[in-house]
Structure 1
């Protein structure tokens, strides 16, 4: 074990949250270091790079990309956005990695990042008010403050399947994609139909000999309306609207420039609703989700109307009646919008190709993986050369609980959360002093645009650390009663809406067997969340216990 390295702040993760923390902690004049498991910056976009850029329609790719429009998927610092221009409305992983290289060139981010550093443990010492952080390879770091910027999707998940070790072809999870892979003339199988699966399916379907998709739940995806961006148009936006965009995002439910319509469906006429739905649909992206009527999340009848509109739009694109029922069933598989909608460009058309088969695993379950493919419960062996697990992540909590984090009482946070997450303000937890997380449990997280939510929380934490330093406090930790009240508030908000009606939803943790089913995100929107956090800070960090330096 190495000699400890001492810092004011240690940050785990070098994605958007970690880099924002680093750059702003530097401005306080504090010592800081980032520990990053990967070999470069970019966080989730370092790992999620599926698949190769072989398939183009109108010169636009379908591989791993964001579902937020480009002005909102970057830092709000004018020093950065004034000189950076994405080439597509919804950038892919290559452009996001290029963006992080650009940020590094501007601010020399990497001088304070230790790469190839998987954090194994973080233990608090109450006698000296310091965290001791150890990496898997035995390096030791100490810091007064620990900032967990592990994101919501850093721990990928592969369900247990009988015979998985016997498969003689290639096996990949979408989050651990190889640098290059040639699908040409291969028989490919994809388990899962979430956001990553949709992007992979659209990309590889024209190239494989055959594609078999194993679907549990139909994906209620929305049209992306992807388009190229001209440098001229972007410069005009920067001049006139970018400052407005960055101010506006903190005023809307999900951190975009548009917001949920406060009208309720019963207060509108059928004609008004139809025109409103059509408008949101044509705009594409997430407009039909977090730009539509608020009571779609609360009222089942209103929700049914939105689903019926979606269903008919999708069925128009699927000629085969059997496929229509598999992909856009008459009976909704769950309330519309209680799982984050994926974005697609030609996903539903793919299934009309003669080389594509859709298997409903509710009717023909995956029974066993065999050397030459996969056998389902109806006795069919689907012969495969490559098997792709698009089976998602231990979302929201997995990145945190995979670290052995122990606080004042010596219990690990994984043990603490075994019966459900409890936090204060979705950024800290009782008995874990001077530890914060960004874009994690009981924050707006997956209900918001990432950078919008990240910057707001990151700035709160930076201001808190500065306050503690300026006022000579050595530690801050949530009070149990305040934590319980906040966690109950999140539960109540979740129970008042339709979220619990979705099975296998990562919003609720139900996609991971044995995980406590609960509302893992703050569902009240960014403005309401910001008010709770800011009210605490304004009231001398109400709900926290602050310890004076000796």
Structure 2
């Protein structure tokens, strides 16, 4: 048996129901952390994942150019037994290195003996009489568990628009989440990439090196920032043990669970010459992560930052018309209020003769044809169409599972049909003993993944320990707790410019999805403080019995 394979104990008998204390769904950072922590406390726990190895999106998404946009040593677990024996090769590791890290953690923590792969969870139903969940997979596996712990991340359900003729295309139609399964050879191909969010930017940089011709379809400009990568070929270039220890310890004090915080002054507190010098000093990820404190709340300050970004970016683009599409003179939306990619040569690509830019605002896609794409202006032939069109983000992974709670058979999808309702971004009224992480109304996409995995994971584990120590078996969020939390989510969002911008953070990318802030925007320290206060108050906001 291959080292990455785990035996399916239910394979021989599809009718068998496996009984456990806790079932974790998802093998990314959050899932494996909870498996490690709960098992160390003596819980009978199992992790299941739809893929064939750990890593979550890092396993399912293996497309060319994939790279993390959080620097090491921040993008890892804080356990010294892990980081003291692990050496990163780059400041911003690529996908292969992240997957190698997951394999390393799995071995160090001996995770595989309590993991089942290739297990796509399709349904979960609460049994009030038993006080347990019955969970089933597509291939017939069934589990009976006291606690149901989905750790699905915010990109578990991909999205491809329902374009006219999409099934007629004779070439290869791909989504970034296809690469693990297909591993296509795209060398010398005529390729289209639809979408210029972070994934589209990474794909464009990689595929431009091998494609015979590359056409990039942009709906909205990406205000991408420079990626200051460093190869750690010599020990002198790597963060020291002391620096790593300090960086990991400081993550909970940073707004985004990193080691970056806003400047202690507003944009126009500085005169123009100091402001420009500050922008130059911040140029790179810190231009977004450690900006003037009013970047996200003051329109004039935000426009000032955009103007600086625009002028720096346009200087790299030779054709003025192309520059007008990629970095418009008029600000298209509030800077930083859509996901910003990190790039190394993205804007330079458009100076190459084999790279073409199509502005979908001016000439939208009308149809996918047998041979390619027809826009309002022309029809183009392609060998490959890559749909870098994103995900039903934050809520889609949970909603695609048929989760039936205690409220007369109401499903989670029905419970959320008019908008998300959670308490603390981790639990839902009417769905007892279900606790999810890296999901809606938590810091999630505005928090470093490993930081959030540990922060929320420890809180979930402590709650389950509180239940066990007090002989309690059922927990549920109160309805009024959900209402208060939703009001807080909106209040935090409305203090920023984000609700004024169309983005997946607001659910705008999915037709029919309620428009609302899906992310807690108060920052990691404030969120962490709230969790601690709830725990100190005997887990107020819950019904425990």
Instruction: Sort the TM-score into its range (normalised by shorter chain).
Output: over 0.9
Runs of 4+ in 1 over 4 A off after TM superposition: none
Q: Mapping of 1:248-327 within 5 angstroms? A: 248-281=250-283, 284=284, 286-327=285-326
Partner of 2:398: 400
Are 1:519 and 2:524 an aligned pair?
Answer: no
User: What's the secondary structure of 1:297's corresponding residue?
Assistant: coil
- Measured in 1, the distance between the counterparts of 2:43 and 2:256 equals 32
The superposition leaves residues 388-426 of structure 1 with CA deviations (integer Å, 9 ceiling, x where unpaired) of 000011100011001011111021111111110011111
Task: Tell me how far apart the structure 2 counterparts of residues 194 and 511 of structure 1 sit (CA, whole Å).
Answer: 12
The Cα shift of 1:341 comes to 0.8
2:536 — aligned with what? 538
Contact 2:73 2:239 in 1 (8 A): no
Asked if residue 151 in structure 1 is aligned to residue 146 in structure 2, the reply is: no
Question: Is the 8 Å Cα contact of residues 267 and 275 (structure 2) preserved in structure 1?
Answer: yes
Matched, 1:86 2:88: yes
Residue 355 (structure 1) aligned with residue 354 (structure 2): yes
Shift of 1:280: 1.0
**Alignment of 1:237 onto 2:243:** no
- 1:104-503 equivalence runs, <5 A: 104-177=106-179, 178=181, 180-230=183-233, 232-233=235-236, 237-238=240-241, 240-281=242-283, 284=284, 286-378=285-377, 380-409=378-407, 410-503=409-502
Q: Render the CA deviation track for 1:271-314: whole Å, top value 9, x for unaligned.
A: 22222211110xx2x31112111211111000000000100110
Distance 1:340 1:386 in 2: 26
* 2-structure distance, mates of 1:438, 1:399: 12
Q: 1:355-413 deviations in whole A, cap 9, x for unaligned?
A: 111011111110111111111112x1111011100001110001100101111102111
Residue aligned with 1:332, SS: coil
Once the 2 structures are TM-superposed, how far is the Cα of residue 458 of structure 1 from its aligned partner?
0.6
Give me the CA root mean square deviation: 1.2
Q: Does 1:7 align with 2:6?
A: no
State the SS of the aligned residue for 1:144.
strand
| Deviation at residue 23 of structure 1 after TM alignment | 0.3
Distance 1:276 1:451, change over 3 A: same
Of 57, 60, 75, which residue of structure 2 is paired with 1:47?
60
The 8 Å contact of residues 85 and 234 in structure 1, kept in 2 or not, is answered as: no
Matches of 1:179 and 1:223, distance apart in 2: 31
* Cα deviation digits, residues 493-514 of structure 1 (max 9, x gap): 11121111212x1110111111
Structure 1 distance, partners of 2:237, 2:127, is 50
CA contact (8 A) 1:122 1:132 kept: yes
Q: TM-score, normalised by structure 1?
A: 0.95
Structure 2 residue runs without a partner (length 5+): 1-13
| 2:21 is equivalent to residue 21 of structure 1 | no
> What is the Cα deviation at residue 179 of structure 1?
5.1
1:34 to 47, 70, 89: 47
What is the Cα deviation at residue 235 of structure 1?
Answer: 6.3
Deviation by residue 1:502-546 (Cα, 9 ceiling, x = unmatched) = 12x111011111100100000010001111111000100011111
In structure 2, C-alpha distance between the alignment counterparts of 1:126 and 1:206, rounded to whole Å: 57
Gaps of 5+ in 1: 52-62
